[in-house]
């Protein structure tokens, strides 16, 4: 079945689909991932990227060094074992605050630079994740750069991968100024930095499905996924990558036609007769499986960042007050999409790990549960600069999906450093 036919299969119902889209959370994702952000000119960010200002404070000279040593000790205690179960815990107050800010780091996407966009509260910056069983040391940029010395770490995925990448580049920039050595694609989809001081390369590859295929565009109103092989845009570079950090999920909710080994498996959000609706959960599973297999097959290290929850919580994305919380939740269990997407990832991760039998380094960065407790960490209306400068409108666009930088994602990278540390002991 050719591409044309699939287009037909959707175009019949195009108008209905669009109406549905306008009314469902899928619309939120569509809008959040595409329309509003594509209007932001990332070129303006490029210049500042090359001259990232180094902040003065480093973790070792801060007043909390004693506390950090203790935290270090408690993590060292379990060295050579699996990481402690850091997924269970709570967010506790942290007076020190982030290592970088929206004016010291030049690589933060405008819509996630909440401080620069006039977000008035700053309390969301002063929390740290406290697992029940251990402590997470504050991010130590030098340690990270030492751990990745002469190596290349690549983020592969969607805009959540970019969110985590930008956090990492900002954190590392506090001790070493990177050179942006490669940039390609609309909206900074492909970038590569070199930290000369340690010969470390950090890059990002846009690949929201991980597997091969085609994203919807002008004349294609749905995505096409080829589930049996990874996207060559990053797959072809695997040889030169040491550590792959995978982060995807939300794009799988979009309308799509799925292929495997040349034949159609089915569709999602496609109601035409020739396309059987098969949902996206099994497809998501296959995409993760194909990816882990490819990376492990190339004997690369792989870190799977689990699904990042949004906090629209049933409200329309343009409603005033969506995700306007200023503090973390204290108790909220995973449910629905968040629960299911994470479960699929963890099952595939465990299966891949068993298959690799210790021969390939493979770890999950299980951030879903800790992140669902951070409704306060999203840009909300501050995805646009100073949204209330002309008074409070009835409707305002909110980003309750990505995370402010600095913000909760910095914690993900603090945990990632512990993963690397265990691998390099």
Ligand X SMILES: *[C@@H]1O[C@H](CO)[C@@H](O)[C@H](O)[C@H]1NC(C)=O
Contacts with ligand X, residue ranges (CB under 6 A): 1, 5, 8-9, 55-56, 101, 103-104, 150-152, 199, 201, 273-274, 320-321, 324, 326
**190: which 2 tokens?**
């492909």
Taking CB atoms, the residue at the shortest distance from ligand X is 321
The 243-247 sheet, strands edge to edge: 179-184, 190-195, 200-206, 152-157, 243-247, 301-305, 362-365
**389: which 2 tokens?**
């400068």
Q: Which residue's CB is nearer to ligand X, number 9 or number 352?
A: 9
Residues 6+ away with beta carbon under 8 Å from 82: none
Q: Which residue's CB is nearer to ligand X, number 199 or number 236?
A: 199
**388: which 2 tokens?**
């209330």
Shortest distance, position 322 Cβ to ligand X, whole Å: 8
Whether residue 308 lies in the annotated active site: no
Whether residue 159 lies in the annotated active site: yes
> Choosing from 42, 338, 399, 410, which is the catalytic residue?
399
CB 141 within 8 A of CB 62: no
Q: Which residue's CB is nearer to ligand X, number 101 or number 159?
A: 101
Shortest distance, position 321 Cβ to ligand X, whole Å: 2
Q: Which residue's CB is nearer to ligand X, number 152 or number 402?
A: 152
**In the block, which residue shows the tokens 């040889």?**
239
Q: Which residue's CB is nearer to ligand X, number 25 or number 118?
A: 118
Shortest distance, position 249 Cβ to ligand X, whole Å: 27
> Choosing from 42, 59, 135, 159, which is the catalytic residue?
159
Cα separation, 334 vs 337, whole angstroms? 9
Shortest distance, position 326 Cβ to ligand X, whole Å: 5
Q: Which residue's CB is nearer to ligand X, number 72 or number 324?
A: 324
Strand duo 301-305 + 263-268: pairing: unpaired
Whether residue 64 lies in the annotated active site: no
Cα separation, 413 vs 144, whole angstroms? 10
Q: Which residue's CB is nearer to ligand X, number 148 or number 287?
A: 148
The distance of Cα 282 from the centroid of its chain, to the nearest Å, equals 21
**291: which 2 tokens?**
């990816």
Shortest distance, position 83 Cβ to ligand X, whole Å: 26
Specify burial of residue 28 (Cβ count, 10 A radius: 0-12, 13-18, 19+): buried
Shortest distance, position 106 Cβ to ligand X, whole Å: 12
Shortest distance, position 222 Cβ to ligand X, whole Å: 14
The catalytic site residues sit at 159, 399, 402
């Amino acid at each position: 079945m050719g591409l044309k036919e699939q287009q037909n299969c959707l175009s019949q119902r195009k108008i209905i689909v669009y109406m549905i889209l306008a009314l469902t959370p899928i619309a939120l994702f569509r809008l959040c991932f595409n329309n509003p952000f594509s209007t932001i000119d990332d070129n303006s960010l490029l210049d500042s990227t090359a001259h990232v200002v180094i902040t003065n404070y480093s973790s070792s000279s801060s007043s909390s060094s004693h506390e950090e040593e203790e935290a270090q000790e408690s993590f060292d205690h379990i060295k050579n074992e699996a990481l402690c179960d850091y997924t269970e815990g709570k967010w506790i107050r942290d007076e020190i605050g982030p290592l970088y800010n929206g004016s010291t780091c030049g690589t933060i996407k405008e819509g996630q630079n909440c401080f620069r966009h006039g977000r008035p509260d700053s309390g969301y910056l002063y929390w740290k994740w406290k697992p029940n069983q251990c402590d997470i040391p504050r991010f130590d940029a030098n340690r990270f750069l030492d751990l990745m010395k002469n190596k290349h770490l690549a983020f592969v995925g969607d805009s959540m991968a970019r969110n985590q990448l930008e956090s990492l580049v900002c954190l590392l920039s506090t001790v070493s100024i990177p050179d942006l050595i490669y940039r390609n694609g609309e909206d900074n989809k492909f970038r590569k930095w070199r930290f000369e001081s340690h010969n470390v390369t950090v890059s990002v590859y846009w690949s929201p499905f991980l597997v091969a295929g085609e994203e919807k565009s002008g004349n294609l109103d749905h995505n096409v996924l080829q589930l049996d092989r990874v996207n060559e845009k990053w797959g072809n570079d695997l040889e030169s990558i040491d550590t792959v950090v995978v982060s995807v999920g939300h794009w799988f909710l979009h309308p799509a036609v799925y292929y495997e080994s040349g034949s159609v498996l089915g569709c999602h959000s496609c109601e035409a007769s020739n396309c059987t609706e098969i949902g996206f959960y099994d497809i998501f599973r296959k995409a993760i499986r194909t990816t882990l297999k490819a990376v492990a097959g190339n004997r690369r290290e792989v870190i799977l960042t689990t699904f990042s929850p949004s906090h629209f919580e049933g409200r329309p994305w343009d409603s005033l007050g969506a995700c306007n919380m200023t503090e973390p939740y204290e108790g909220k269990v995973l449910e629905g999409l968040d629960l299911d997407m994470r479960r699929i990832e963890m099952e595939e991760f465990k299966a891949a790990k068993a298959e690799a039998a210790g021969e390939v380094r493979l770890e999950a960065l299980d951030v879903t549960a800790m992140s669902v407790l951070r409704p306060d960490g999203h840009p909300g209306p501050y995805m646009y600069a100073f949204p209330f400068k002309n008074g409070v409108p009835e409707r305002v666009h909110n980003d309750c999906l990505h995370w402010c930088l600095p913000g909760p994602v910095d914690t993900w990278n603090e945990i990632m450093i512990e993963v690397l540390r265990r691998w390099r002991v």
